[in-house]
Amino acid sequence: MMPRTDSLKLFTASGFRIGACDWSIQNTSNLGAMEMAAMIGLDGVQVSLGLLENDFHLRKQEVRLAYRQLSKIFKVGFTGLAIGELNNYPLKSDPRADQWVADSIDVAKALGVNVILLAFFSKGDLKSDQKGTEAVISKLKVICPKAEKAGITLGIESWLSAEEHMYIIDKVGSPQLKVYYDVANSEKMGYPIYDEIVWLGRQKMICEFHFKENGFLLGEGRVDFKKVHDCIEKINYRGCIQIEGSVPEGKTMLESYKLNNVFTRSILA
């Protein structure tokens, strides 16, 4: 018999917090993410800084207060902060993005979040874009000192390989810039994900993980999560694990995420 969703936290290994991206639980930049996370049985939500249309609303104190109030009501925390709009308005080319990233450091501090996901997909893709990569390096050199002072880590999530990520990190030269490792993205690109996790992890260069599958429930797709867990143990990672994607055809998001939550906790326990 499957454990009750509301009791699953008892089965999580010490040191892990299980969350989900607000966009994956159908509440992008929406307060409803807190209630949805509670319905799933998650520890928290990886919340979006906001959208261009709402002026990245988590920068507003009253919006953060509303999120905190719902956090108390539903007993769900904040497991991360992300700027997904960088996919549409890239850090490499949009001068407004510099301020959004800088402001997100203050927001993370206010919410008690340690890691900010910086997205580099779609229009922000850096793969085979040396000019864009160098622009991002220049901008992060300016932004990272603020992150260092605040003790906040900026995590790069992209289509890049481990070595390509390290090129950026080495060039920027900040201890607060790391890789946000998404297992499904790396698997899709054909990278040796288990070797990459260990190689990056032993250098303390992974700030957080997305547990994700494309079109499958976790544990039923192309990623071997038992091997992922073994790698996590090898690098002694403890922190947040965010569930993303992983909704197969024929299942609802809520049904899928309850199952994904069960699986994630069981594999880590």
pLDDT by residue, tens only, the chain of 269 residues: 333 344 444 444 568 999 999 999 999 999 999 999 999 999 999 999 999 999 999 999 999 999 999 999 999 999 999 999 999 999 999 999 999 999 999 999 999 999 999 999 999 999 999 999 999 999 999 999 999 999 999 999 999 999 999 999 999 999 999 999 999 999 999 999 999 999 999 999 999 999 999 999 999 999 999 999 999 999 999 999 999 999 999 999 999 999 999 999 999 98
Give phi and psi for 155, each to the nearest 5. Answer: -110, 125
CATH 3.10.450.50 fits 5-268, yes or no: no
Measure the CA–CA gap between 111 and 78, rounded to whole angstroms.
Answer: 7
122 Cβ partners below 8 Å, 6+ apart?
87, 88
Measure the CA–CA gap between 162 and 212, rounded to whole angstroms.
Answer: 18
